[in-house]
Amino acid sequence: MIEDILKENFSTFKKDGIYGYLSDYGEQELEVRTREKVASNHFDSFLFEISKHHSIPVMDKEILRFLKNIPNNGTILDIGGCWGWHWRKINQIRPDIKVVIVELIRSNLFIAKGILGELIDKNIFLVHGNAINLPVHDHSFDGVWSVQATQHIPSLELVYKEVYRVLKIGGLFSDYNLNHSGLTKFIYRFLGKKYIVEGTANNQFFLRRTTNKNRSLLSKIFKTKIRSRYTEILFSPEYKLPIGGREKSLLGLADFYLANFGYFVKPFARQRSLHVLKLKVI
């Protein structure tokens, strides 16, 4: 049981109802300061705010793809789950599944509690933790999910090794991050914007776009083939065009199906995700 896994690592809840507590953020201190400022803002609608930065219809469909690989009564680890919105419908879709969200920014977990409501401590459990040192035992999860989180962690190899460690045999890891696109790079330069492949952005946070370097690193650790997927083709908030981001947008639904064209949409895709199964213990 996932409750037992957590209790073995954290003897009690904190008073705020969140497992764990971080105080030393190391190389991610800048990230924490930036994200805490965002989390301190007031938003009339959290889903509307999310739709400015993520295509909700696209990612809702990606969740369904991911869940097809999770067995009955399975367990999922969400690395950097932020406000937890990906799992707001889990009790309708797969009530048998338990999800543990590990998030670096404690303030984000307070927001997640508000969005997820009664799902907390039933289907979903919140942990204040760091992806480079996950506070769970080996072989604990049937799936690991992450969206635009590992791109902000400098020590990517440590993250991938931790993911491998906590996955069960046959478990799936899906990691979504910003795509490194030559076309996007050209447009950025045309608009006079700085295009970062890997480095610090605006002295606010670390950013690493997904390249074949990421895929090679993941392949080295998992010792198997890595599959790439390209998503958010129409959704481009960087150009002030968050088309199809809202929850019930038909354009957002069409955007999801564009991902089926694979490498043909690679130059236009905002996201590139890497997907891998843990086939054996090495």
Is the confidence at residue 11, as pLDDT, over 60? no
Q: Tell me the per-residue pLDDT of 160-209, one tens digit each, with 9 for 90 and over.
A: 999 999 999 999 999 999 999 989 999 888 888 899 999 998 888 999 99
The domain limits of the chain are 2-272
**How far apart, in whole angstroms, are the C-alpha atoms of residue 243 and residue 267?**
18
Residue 24 has pLDDT above 90, yes or no: no
Please say whether the dihedral angle defined by the alpha carbons of residues 155, 157, 158 and 160, taken in this order, is positive or negative.
positive
Determine the average pLDDT of the residues in 241-250: 90
CA pair distance 273, 258, nearest whole angstrom: 15
Edge-to-edge order in the sheet of strand 167-178: 124-128, 98-103, 75-79, 141-147, 167-178, 271-277, 227-231
In CATH, what is the architecture of 2-272? Answer: 3-Layer(aba) Sandwich (3.40)
User: Pairing mode, if any, of strands 98-103 and 124-128?
Assistant: parallel
Q: Which of 87, 282, 83 shows the shortest CA–CA distance to 167?
A: 282
Cα distance between residue 112 and residue 20, in whole Å: 15
- The whole-number average pLDDT for the span 254-271 is 94
Residue 4's pLDDT is what?
65
pLDDT band at 22 (very low <50, low <70, confident <90, very high): confident
Q: Per-residue pLDDT for 12 more than 60?
A: no
Phi-psi region of 49 (alpha: psi -120 to 50; beta: other; left: phi over 0): alpha
Q: What is the pLDDT of residues 96-139, one digit of tens each?
A: 999 999 999 999 999 999 999 999 999 999 999 999 999 888 99
The whole-number pLDDT of residue 117 equals 95
CA 141 – CA 120 distance, rounded (Å): 18
H/E stretch holding 109: helix 106-116
Closest C-alpha to 102, from 162, 56, 40, 34:
162
Task: Tell whether the model's pLDDT for residue 252 goes beyond 90.
Answer: yes
**Over the chain, what is the mean pLDDT?**
92
Residue 256's alpha-carbon distances to 78, 259, 270, 282, in angstroms, are 21, 6, 12, 35
According to DSSP, the β-strands at 75-79 and 141-147 are parallel
Cα–Cα distance measured from residue 67 to residue 94, given in angstroms and rounded to the nearest whole number: 8
59-97 confidence digits (pLDDT tens): 999 999 999 999 999 999 999 999 999 999 999 999 999
d(CA 207, CA 128): 21
Kindly state the percentage of the chain with pLDDT values over 90.
76
For the segment 223-235, the average pLDDT, to the nearest whole number, is 96
Q: Give the model's pLDDT for residue 191.
A: 86
Start-end of H helices in 173-273: 182-190, 212-222, 250-258
* d(C-alpha 28, C-alpha 31), whole Å: 5
